Chains A and B, each alone.
Chain A
Amino acid sequence: MTDREILALYRKGGRHEAFRLLVQNYKERLYWHIRRMVLDHDDADDCLQNTFLKAWRSLDGFRGDAQLYTWLYRIATNETLSFLSRQQTRGEYTGLDAADRLSSDSWFDGNKLQTALYKAIAKLPPKQKAVFNLRYFEEMPYEKIAAVLETSEGALKASYHHAYEKVKAWVKEEMDAE
């Protein structure tokens, strides 16, 4: 079922059924988007649930100016960035600590290179991390990333370029050290 059909069903009164279909369509890709940001499965689960709860609460006001896909990615990204920000404010472990735990994480099977990559990504500032992940892993066009993050394409390209160079240098450093 397409996004338009889901929205039509929702507006005709089949709210729960339409929302369930929406969750089915997007849960997995949003999960991976969030998981690459927070690294930990339980944190990703919390953020994903909060994302869909917010979507449920505000779906009545969704006018269709943006695509449902973009809208959901925006909610998920903002929710994840808020989560990371709260963690930093509370002084709880940061992305860097989480990256260090990757090696012992039972839900992570990466090799040395992959571990080095995710450790490097974890060092990026949160918003730059979102730009890098959306472009690098999901190969999302800049135009769509701009819609998700509500920023200009020019700024995104610059941000991605800086992030890319930093990640590359950190990965090389990590690999050379071993």
Chain B
Amino acid sequence: MKEFDEHFEPLTEAGRADNPFRMPEGYIDSFEDRLMQRIAQEEAAPSERRRPIWSVLKPALTLAAMFALIFGMGYGVLSLTHTLDRGASTGAEGYATVEEQFIKPSSLINYYQMEGQAEEPEEIDEETLVDYLASSLSFADLADIYAQLY
């Protein structure tokens, strides 16, 4: 490393040229044997410790059962509140349902009833009529009306 400056140069030599670490005698020569032995053990291990099919499938089945339970509960609640039936109706059936359940019993009937009541003539007694005419019309107007009527 040319970039090392003077202060570090002795250290470079000391650090790199002479490896201060040692390993136990025979360690590196026997390494493959120990490693291959470990590999052999590992390869043999799965067959000895093979898990039964039930224990492998158990987590997946538990999850599926929980999902089915939640789905079933949701479906039951919706069925009881008739939400599914209402949601499923389409076309003419749907309009009929809407008309039957929402429009007829409520707003339209009430609307027509109100209109009919408004058109019925209000009964006014004779005294009230005379008072109204006397207060709102002049004598000349009353004379004209009397001439037209009789």
- Neighbouring A residues of B39 by C-beta, 8 Å: 19, 53, 56
A156 at the interface (CB under 8 A from B): no
Residues of chain B within 8 A of A114, CB atoms compared: 14-15, 18, 20
Q: Find the residue from B3, B27, B35, B38 having the highest chain A CB count within 10 A.
A: B35
- CB distance B15 to A108 under 8 Å? no
Residue ID in chain A nearest B23 by CB atoms: A41
- Contact: B7 with A168, CB < 8 Å? yes
- Indicate if B16 sits at the interface (CB-CB under 8 A): yes
Instruction: Tell me the minimal C-beta distance from A145 to chain B in angstroms.
Output: 14
Q: Which residues of B contact A (CB under 8 A)?
A: 1, 3, 5, 7-8, 10-11, 14-16, 18-24, 27-28, 31-32, 34-36, 38-39, 42
In contact, B11 and A171 (Cβ under 8 angstroms): yes
Given A32-B21, A109-B21, A114-B14: 16 more A-B contacts, CB < 8 Å: A24-B32, A31-B28, A36-B21, A49-B35, A49-B38, A53-B35, A56-B39, A107-B21, A108-B20, A110-B20, A111-B14, A111-B20, A113-B15, A117-B15, A136-B1, A164-B3
Question: How many Å from the CB of A142 to the closest CB on chain B?
Answer: 13
Residues of B within 8 A of A35 (CB): 21, 23
Interface residues of A (CB under 8 A from B): 16, 19-20, 23-24, 27-28, 31-32, 35-36, 41, 45, 48-49, 52-53, 56, 107-111, 113-118, 136-137, 139, 164, 168, 171-172
> A107 — which chain B residues lie within 8 A by C-beta?
21-24
- How far apart are the CA atoms of A172 and B36 in the complex, in Å? 45
Q: How far is the CA of A109 from the CA of B18 in the complex (A)?
A: 10
Roughly how many angstroms separate A27 CA and B30 CA in the complex, as a whole number?
A: 11
Q: Which of A20, A36, A41, A111 contacts B36 (CB 8 A)?
A: A20
Q: B1 — which chain A residues lie within 8 A by C-beta?
A: 136, 139
Asked if B32 contacts A31 (CB within 8 A), the reply is: no
Checking B14, B21, B31 against A27 with a beta-carbon cut-off of 8 angstroms, the contacting residue is B31
Which residues on the B side are within 8 Å of A28 (C-beta)? Answer: 28
Which of A19, A48, A109, A113 is the one whose CB lies under 8 Å from B31? A48
A20 pairs with B32, CB closer than 8 A: yes
Query: Which A residues are CB-close (under 8 A) to B3?
Result: 164
